[in-house]
Structure 1
Amino acid sequence: MTHKHEATTPACTSYPLYDSRWEHDACGMGFLAQVSGEASHSLVETALDALTRLTHRGAQDAEAEAYDGAGILTQIPRALLLEELEQQKISVADPATLAVGMVFLPIRGSEHSLRCREIIEQTLADAGLTFLIWRTPPIDYSVLGATARANAPEIMQVLLSCPPELPVKRYAQILYYARRLIEHRLAGAQITDCYVASLSHTILVHKGLLAPHDLSNFYLDLVDPRFASALAVFHQRYSTNTFPAWPLAQPMRLLAHNGEINTIRGNVNWMQAREAALASPLWDERLQDLLPVVQSASDSGQLDNALEFLAASGRDVLHCMQMLVPPAWEHDTELPDAERAWCEYHAGQIEPWDGPAALVFSDGYMVGAALDRNGLRPARYVLTAQGVLILASEVGVVSLDPQDVVEKGRLGPGEMIAVDLEHGLLMRDREIKEALALRQPYEQWLADHLTHLPHPSSVASDTPVEMGDLFSRQQLFGYTHEDVEMVLRPMLTDNKEPTWSMGDDAPLAVLSHQVRSFSDYFRQRFAQVTNPPIDPLRERIVM
């Protein structure tokens, strides 16, 4: 589903200065996880309360009716759904294979709604999945504000099971493949207002243009005592320069994100550039149905697209997240050799998705958080005596007695923390990185296959340049008197950094009537407001 203001070209007709490529957001987010893996409804209730305490991180309109969006990602409430299926005389051979798709169909009453259902059902059958029923989840549309209600999709759930001939290990991959195929066929039918929020046999996403306190009033399943989960990822969206839209509410399909990906255009372009060379024995010729890998409108959604693709192609979610958001390893002299080899090996496969970002993620088996290499977004955690790990973008989202706090801390730059729900393990940053580094002989692979190109020979000459010739060369390469006196001279004579203003009143090089240097035609893109200054001496590891 695309929101009605989305730009598919650099400028759209109704909003000529708007372009969906520049969408970013700054939000409140976090997760709760029962380390033992025991599912409960009380954890879901606590997560909803924690989300409500992040209301101030979002925005609302003047009438306090329209909101940027909120949501929660949990494990599938099997007890609730299996009981409903049993009432309809539908049995599932293995309850663990029950899959649920949360589908945002076109606005209620739309003529496309029936066609969307037909496409989804046919595609699921073509993918070899067993369709069970369409379920209408209990929803109270009256809690929505006027704007959100006018644009609200018809929300349905599609329930599936794994056919006996399909190996369970391939089940998650086939579900991902089916969803991507659905998206392609909807696009082929020129249907742009249908969106699959999640399609999985492990996790389920509830989200929308709601205030956090209204999420459980809207999705009534969330207050059902049978709705149990051992994890809950929650998110309150704040749109810094975007239009609120149902699909852009978070969590996405695997992650929730607070911050910005400043390198997003380069990341997307590089991903597109390598698509022609992609190959995998897991996908074979079906790989073409997964392209383009990145298709979302926001930076959070695009990162989620990349994470999904990697996770569905044979790597676990911790491995994928560390690939996409690696630590600053290049100048870290204390980094163990095995971990350095891991980072160097993967640096040759994919570039980092960089920027001030705190990320929480889950595939239903593992739930965790990661911080960008500069540590420019907060992520604080508490481990309770009851074995619950609470992590959020700020403290105080859950009220705790001091005696119940076993451990508390914060993620540092490039760090991760995770809970393995299958094995009941809390994994800290060092354990995660050591485990990843020892999975394969990365040091040996680099020694055998990495080729370092020789440094080009120096072409500098010690012969002094005549003053007249020097002035001609400066003119030729676009150096002005200001460049020499205010930039070069302080650097060369006093070893000082040039002092310059943040503003620039000179016209853009492409519009200037003066001859400009080649470098003037390029500008660095960065979040000037949200990025605090970095000390080049004390924080040189990330420079």
Structure 2
Amino acid sequence: MLDPWRERDACGVGFVARADGERTRDILSLALTAVARLAHRGAASNDKSGDGAGVLTQIPHRLLGVGPVERVALGMFFLPPNGVDEAVDLIESALVSLGMSVLGWRVVPVDAGVLGPLAAASQPAIRQVFVGPPSGPANAQAWERRLYLARRVIERRAANAGLEIFVCSLSCRTVVYKALLVGTELPGFYADLRSPLFETGIAVFHQRYSTNTLPSWPLAQPFRLLAHNGEINTLWGNRNAMLAREPALAAPVWEKDVEKLKPVIWADGSDSASLDNALELLVRSGRDPVHALMMLLPEAWERIPEMDPALRSFYEYHAGLMEPWDGPAAIAFSDGVVAGSALDRNGLRPCRYKVTRDNVVVAASEVGVVDFDPADVVESGRLGPGEVLVVDTLRNVVLRSADAKIEVAQRCPYRRWSSRVVRELPTDVSAIGPALPADELTARQHAFGYSHEDLKFVMAPMASEGKDAIWSMGDDTPIAPLSRVPQSLYAYVRQRFAQVTNPAIDPLREELVMSLVMYLGRRGSLLAQRPGGRTLLRIEHPVLLAEEMAALRRAGGSELATLSAVWEAAAGPDELARALETLSRDAVTAVRRGATLLVISDRDADKSRAPIPMLLAIGAVHQSLVHARQRVRVGLVAEAGDAWDVHHFAALFGYGAEAVHPWLALQYLRDDASASRFRAAAEKGLLKILSKMGISTLQSYSGAQIFEAIGLGREV
């Protein structure tokens, strides 16, 4: 039976920091106590090999006998035991090639006796390297940027050489000590952590409970900037989106070196590792950690009318740059100067904190991780949904969520920038167009796969009641590949669901955090600190009615291109493949010629030309644009005759569409009230599907391909 006292929310995470930045042994001792007391939130195999635990601290200069602060960088490496010399040569070569000097190496003292057999069998050689700065003026941020570049070069060269090198940290401010064990064993494994000479003013700690990936030494946390408890349910979408926007990455601080940073996301990493990759890119490119996390984990701002206008403008502007990394998340982070914690927009992971009289701050997944005299505690509390807690050791301040966010939002004129970059889709166009004759409507419905049951049991409830039809939980019909009746392509893809998230979101009670808002158009560089010259169309309803589609065409003007998704069916199946290749090629050409809005339409289907299944057409165009490095330059709209069910809409969005116009379904529903109710039902259904994945925003779901294909060939 379930014992509520043994319930756990996966992983324990937190940080300890002194606001004045004074480095003491006490801060590390508190962090080690905390991670040990969070061991019950982690996991271990039956041989006591833990899922991983670690700490991120400032470089312990007194222990290592190096200094001054920020003038000597420290790298912490996991190296292959049988290839240490080769790995060292590769690392030194990369550092020297980027203008830095290698001052020496250190064998990190460890006691392998505390490891379980599985962890011991995979234990890497653990080494530290001391690095001298490049020539030129002393600038810690510029050096951190150079060290980040060096890490990416090392990783690429190691992959090409077939060497398993993992860079735990490479920084002039911080170092990461982590291992494949439980938190109680961490100081027993690393002798450094037991030394009274190990002094730091900041410590981030983490105890891992592996969910999405198997335990391994590299995937233990913290990573280079953060430690994470939760699940990034939009991971596939975020990774795909980052890949799509890589061609547009540009910033003056990188110049041509930006190509060395790609791919940004480590393909074999966990969701937490991927989030850290994205955070590190933003921070090393010029944004501070709080700004970057407000981009990656924005609070639910879309439906909060009382939000400060400056903060609303900040979120509006950045929503056009990137989608949220959505899902349950409690984050502890530090760049060696600032430390803090942050929660996701739903607040689905716990974070409690205490502040003492001398401005020592402890935040963790639960209370009781450290022992403070109650008389010394001046504040206790917990973070709410979307909130942050920040300790700035440079300014000796502790910033609560509102103050920290407003400070970031007021640095730039985001209200002016967002009004220039984002515009609403005009709604003053009422061109529904002529109705199809009854016989032609019936013929087209037959051609696009509508059945009498679809009209009666799917569309009729949506149009009359404003909600999708209710079906029985049991389904004894054969799956699409085994069906004797021809099925649409949509039937061959099945929606995944969140297996780890607890709980899935209730889209009715949590309406304030749900959002279907989409942005269409050409996006600028994620790294740009100022807006570009193009504008984005903000769409409140991604399922477009006829008048909204007309408004979109008018707003797009000469920058909107429409491509016909039809093929000569009489020529046989090979013609379909050729038509898809032509469609994909034409899409890439249109974008290169300046199109910022691309409409894929099957309206031209007639007696001789069959419609290409819109799911196939959208997927092919989306992937072709990604491979041609053009996807971020255009908004993708599906004008689909074969979309009338909630699952159809979800699949189109999931495979790359950013708006859908179900033109034939709307032709069947000619009056405005029925069309509006149909659209409302479709969007309620989308929210229900998102919520089952633990996802709050359609932006993060679009292009994520969170589906399983059943009975389709690999080429499809």
What TM bracket, shorter-length normalisation?
A: 0.7 to 0.9
Q: Which residue pairs with 1:335 in the alignment?
A: 307
Give 3-state SS (helix, strand or coil) of 1:412's partner. Answer: coil
Alpha-carbon distance in 1 for matches of 2:436, 2:99 = 75
What per-residue deviation string (whole Å, max 9, x for no partner) do you get for residues 42-69 of structure 1? 1111111111111111111223x21111
Alpha-carbon distance in 2 for matches of 1:396, 1:474 = 66
Q: Which residue pairs with 2:78 in the alignment?
A: 104
Q: Work out which of the residue numbers 179, 189, 193 in structure 2 matches 1:208.
A: 179
What per-residue deviation string (whole Å, max 9, x for no partner) do you get for residues 374-425 of structure 1? 2111112122234221111122212334333322222111111111011111
Q: Work out which of the residue numbers 16, 23, 33 in structure 1 matches 2:17.
A: 33
Q: Which has the larger radius of gyration?
A: 2
Name the stretch that deviates more: 447-456 or 159-168: 447-456
- Deviation at 1:482? 7.8
Q: Which has the higher contact order (CA 8 A, sep 6+)?
A: 1
Q: Which residue pairs with 1:397 in the alignment?
A: 369
Are positions 1:373 and 2:334 aligned together?
Answer: no
Q: Which residue pairs with 1:45 in the alignment?
A: 29
Counterpart residue identity of residue 60, structure 2: P
Q: Which residue pairs with 1:56 in the alignment?
A: 40
Are positions 1:126 and 2:72 aligned together?
Answer: no
Q: Which residue pairs with 2:573 in the alignment?
A: none
1:509-524 to structure 2, matched below 5 A, reads 509=480, 512-517=483-488, 519-524=490-495
- Deviation at 1:489? 5.6
User: CA 1:417 to 1:457, structure 2 compared with 1: closer, same or farther past 3 Å?
Assistant: same
Q: Is the 8 A contact 2:461 2:467 kept in 1?
A: yes
Alpha-carbon distance in 2 for matches of 1:435, 1:443 = 14
Are positions 1:151 and 2:122 aligned together?
Answer: yes
User: CA 1:514 to 1:370, structure 2 compared with 1: closer, same or farther past 3 Å?
Assistant: farther
User: CA 1:306 to 1:194, structure 2 compared with 1: closer, same or farther past 3 Å?
Assistant: same
Counterpart residue identity of residue 165, structure 1: G
Q: Paired residues, what number? A: 504
Q: Is the 8 A contact 2:314 2:414 kept in 1?
A: yes
Counterpart residue identity of residue 263, structure 1: T
Q: Which residue pairs with 1:7 in the alignment?
A: none
TM value normalised by structure 2: 0.66
Q: Work out which of the residue numbers 53, 57, 76 in structure 1 matches 2:59.
A: 76
- Deviation at 1:230? 1.1
Alpha-carbon distance in 2 for matches of 1:518, 1:132 = 61
Name the stretch that deviates more: 292-301 or 533-542: 533-542
What per-residue deviation string (whole Å, max 9, x for no partner) do you get for residues 159-184 of structure 1? 11224524314111111111111111
Q: Is the 8 A contact 1:474 1:480 kept in 2?
A: no
- Deviation at 1:189? 1.4
Q: Is the 8 A contact 1:231 1:367 kept in 2?
A: yes
Q: Which residue pairs with 2:538 in the alignment?
A: none
Q: Which residue pairs with 2:202 in the alignment?
A: 231
Counterpart residue identity of residue 106, structure 1: P
User: CA 1:36 to 1:267, structure 2 compared with 1: closer, same or farther past 3 Å?
Assistant: same
User: CA 1:257 to 1:507, structure 2 compared with 1: closer, same or farther past 3 Å?
Assistant: farther
Counterpart residue identity of residue 130, structure 1: S
Counterpart residue identity of residue 336, structure 2: G
Q: Work out which of the residue numbers 271, 279, 283 in structure 2 matches 1:299.
A: 271
Alpha-carbon distance in 2 for matches of 1:507, 1:76 = 61
What per-residue deviation string (whole Å, max 9, x for no partner) do you get for residues 497-516 of structure 1? 75456776655546655434
Alpha-carbon distance in 1 for matches of 2:439, 2:38 = 64
Alpha-carbon distance in 1 for matches of 2:159, 2:372 = 48
Q: Which residue pairs with 1:15 in the alignment?
A: none
Structure 2 residues without counterparts, runs of 5 or longer: 1-8, 515-716
Name the stretch that deviates more: 525-534 or 52-61: 525-534
Alpha-carbon distance in 1 for matches of 2:244, 2:394 = 37
Q: Is the 8 A contact 2:43 2:182 kept in 1?
A: no
Q: Is the 8 A contact 1:78 1:98 kept in 2?
A: no
What per-residue deviation string (whole Å, max 9, x for no partner) do you get for residues 61-120 of structure 1? 223x211111111111011112xx5xxxxxx5x44312110011102xx0x211110011
Q: Work out which of the residue numbers 119, 135, 140 in structure 1 matches 2:111.
A: 140
Structure 1 residues without counterparts, runs of 5 or longer: 1-24, 86-91
CA-based RMSD of the aligned residues comes to 2.8
Q: Is the 8 A contact 1:279 1:287 kept in 2?
A: yes
Give 3-state SS (helix, strand or coil) of 1:431's partner. Answer: helix
Give 3-state SS (helix, strand or coil) of 1:29's partner. Answer: strand
Alpha-carbon distance in 2 for matches of 1:71, 1:520 = 46
Name the stretch that deviates more: 445-454 or 279-288: 445-454
Are positions 1:362 and 2:334 aligned together?
Answer: yes
